[in-house]
Structure 1
Amino acid sequence: MSEDELEADSSENGQSVGRRIAGDLSAYVSLAGDYYRGEIDRATTWRARLDQTTNWAVVIVAAVLTWAFSGDNRPHYVILIGVIGVTTFLLMEANRYREYDAWRHRVRKLQRNLFAEAFSPGHSPNADWQDELGEELREPAIEISFRGALHHRLRRSYLALLSVLLLAWAARVTAYQPEEAWQQTASILGLPGEAVVGVVVVFFAVIVVLTLWSAREDRTREFQV
């Protein structure tokens, strides 16, 4: 039966196509499989976008460190420019993670409540999971907050990258110019070294506080719900 014929027949019987499929086990299983493959594809696409952003952040760190330590006359503030670049990628990735989380959450809901129960019956899936999934499809929404996504990406990747840059910058303004006081070496275009160090310390203190923040959103871990 064609799609038009199915819709016409459904209208005559006073039932929607969706209701008829829900009452037909074989049609429901086929639809669930196709839907699951579609959600997996979307989640994989957004996962690749996350990885691409992280890869570019790693490339920036490697390039900045290579250039900054290739000679004694390299300005130390190039590393701080790298910090700005990596932070920009962090903000971009937090937004991308929010999109990815929406698709991943639907995939996990199907895996946990449908496929897990099919493979290992008797574990009492969430009785309302179908209704919840239906509402998500009717009214799509990003559920994880920007703050939660930011916390997650800092813990997974970006705290380590920013820490490497911080340690490299500290070494660059101390070990590479032992004949000068760090206050003089850390200065930038007339800005006193103390002020530069103060800004860097405050920035990294904020980063550490955000990373260790105990108030986490619900689905900030890859294999959580």
Structure 2
Amino acid sequence: MSDDSSDFDPQSRSEREVAGEAATDRSDFLSLMGHAYRGELGRMTAWRTRIDRTTNWAVVLTATLLTWAFSGENRPHYVLLVGMVMVTVFLGIEARRYRTYDIWRSRVRLLEENVFANALDPDGAEQANWRELLSDDFREPTVKTPRTESVSRRLGRVYLPLLSVLVGAWLVRLTVFSGTPGNVVSGAAIGGLPGRLVVAAVAVFYVGLWAVYVWPRQRQAKGELRTAEETDDWK
């Protein structure tokens, strides 16, 4: 029996370009796309798990702070402000992870729209140049979602409700448990920082969150689920 492996030359042009033959053979090409889809789906799932892990940290932190802050009348109100800072840090981490996650998700959606959907119902590919788009992205992977949009998406899904709960709890702490109920602003003071400055900083921070959430109306992330009534995407 002859040993075909002895004829294999990895430096020859024909061997280097062997994958190009799949472009002209339908069965080989579809088989290759199936493997590519499973690979990209695995990457997407792994990064989705990392996003969920950060969300879990933020939820646990919020619940812990609320429990501690209202477990006694003498708990300092600024602990809730520290919690807002920490949750915002988690927001930044998750927004960065979301941008990476969207790289793989966009590839998965490109295959689903143009290969699998068309196989189930041959109504034409969504993008006529989808093979070129996918090839370019394989050669040079790029982040497709701007930072502002990624922060906006994670705010709308998780972090704006969490931060709203913390802001509301902070206000309740100042009004209900304050030693000076008639002057909430002065009760918001932290050490040498006057209460007026603290309240103003929290107000600017919270308004800024809403501004980031509603500002980028033209979405670039690909493949998010949505309902007919929503102008934003739902994940």
Same fold (TM over 0.5): yes
Aligned partner of 2:72 in structure 1 is 71
One-letter amino acid matched to 1:30? S
Q: Residue 91 of structure 2 contacts residue 151 of structure 2 at CA under 8 Å; is this kept in 1? A: yes
Residues 2/119 of structure 1: CA separation in 2 closer, same or farther (3 Å cut): farther
Instruction: Tell me whether 1:38 sits opposite 2:39 in the alignment.
Output: yes
One-letter amino acid matched to 2:213? T
One-letter amino acid matched to 1:37? R
One-letter amino acid matched to 1:161? L
Q: Distance in 2 between matches of 1:93 and 1:5?
A: 50
One-letter amino acid matched to 1:128? N
One-letter amino acid matched to 2:204? V
Matched-pair identity in %: 43
Equivalent of residue 199 in structure 1, options 190, 198, 201: 201
Gaps of 5+ in 1: none
Q: Residue 145 of structure 1 contacts residue 217 of structure 1 at CA under 8 Å; is this kept in 2? A: no
Q: Residue 7 of structure 1 contacts residue 17 of structure 1 at CA under 8 Å; is this kept in 2? A: no
Q: Distance in 2 between matches of 1:162 and 1:18?
A: 50
Aligned partner of 1:185 in structure 2 is 187
Per-residue deviation at 1:185?
1.6
- Give 1:60-139 correspondences, 5 Å limit: 60-139=61-140
* Mean Cα deviation higher: 51-60 or 118-127: 118-127
Aligned partner of 1:170 in structure 2 is 171
Residues 178/9 of structure 1: CA separation in 2 closer, same or farther (3 Å cut): closer
Q: Residue 186 of structure 2 contacts residue 194 of structure 2 at CA under 8 Å; is this kept in 1? A: yes
Q: Distance in 2 between matches of 1:28 and 1:2?
A: 24
One-letter amino acid matched to 2:107? R
Residues 184/34 of structure 1: CA separation in 2 closer, same or farther (3 Å cut): same
Residues 4/109 of structure 1: CA separation in 2 closer, same or farther (3 Å cut): farther
One-letter amino acid matched to 1:92? I
Q: Distance in 1 between matches of 2:134 and 2:217?
A: 26
Per-residue deviation at 1:214?
4.2
Gaps of 5+ in 2: 227-232
Q: Distance in 2 between matches of 1:10 and 1:27?
A: 21
Aligned partner of 1:216 in structure 2 is 218
Aligned partner of 2:160 in structure 1 is 159
Q: Distance in 2 between matches of 1:103 and 1:2?
A: 37
Q: Residue 152 of structure 1 contacts residue 220 of structure 1 at CA under 8 Å; is this kept in 2? A: no
Listed one character per residue, the Cα deviations across residues 78-101 of structure 1 (whole Å, up to 9, x for unaligned) are 000000000000001110000000
Residues 148/4 of structure 1: CA separation in 2 closer, same or farther (3 Å cut): farther
Q: Distance in 2 between matches of 1:4 and 1:155?
A: 59
Per-residue deviation at 1:212?
1.2
One-letter amino acid matched to 1:188? I
Q: Distance in 2 between matches of 1:7 and 1:33?
A: 28
TM value normalised by structure 1? 0.91
Q: Residue 80 of structure 1 contacts residue 169 of structure 1 at CA under 8 Å; is this kept in 2? A: yes
One-letter amino acid matched to 1:32? M
Listed one character per residue, the Cα deviations across residues 61-117 of structure 1 (whole Å, up to 9, x for unaligned) are 001100000000000000000000000000011100000000000000000000100
Q: Residue 50 of structure 1 contacts residue 97 of structure 1 at CA under 8 Å; is this kept in 2? A: yes
RMSD between superposed Cα atoms in Å? 2.4
Q: Distance in 1 between matches of 2:218 and 2:93?
A: 20
Aligned partner of 2:229 in structure 1 is none
Residues 11/184 of structure 1: CA separation in 2 closer, same or farther (3 Å cut): closer
One-letter amino acid matched to 1:149? S
Residues 188/110 of structure 1: CA separation in 2 closer, same or farther (3 Å cut): same
Residues 8/168 of structure 1: CA separation in 2 closer, same or farther (3 Å cut): closer
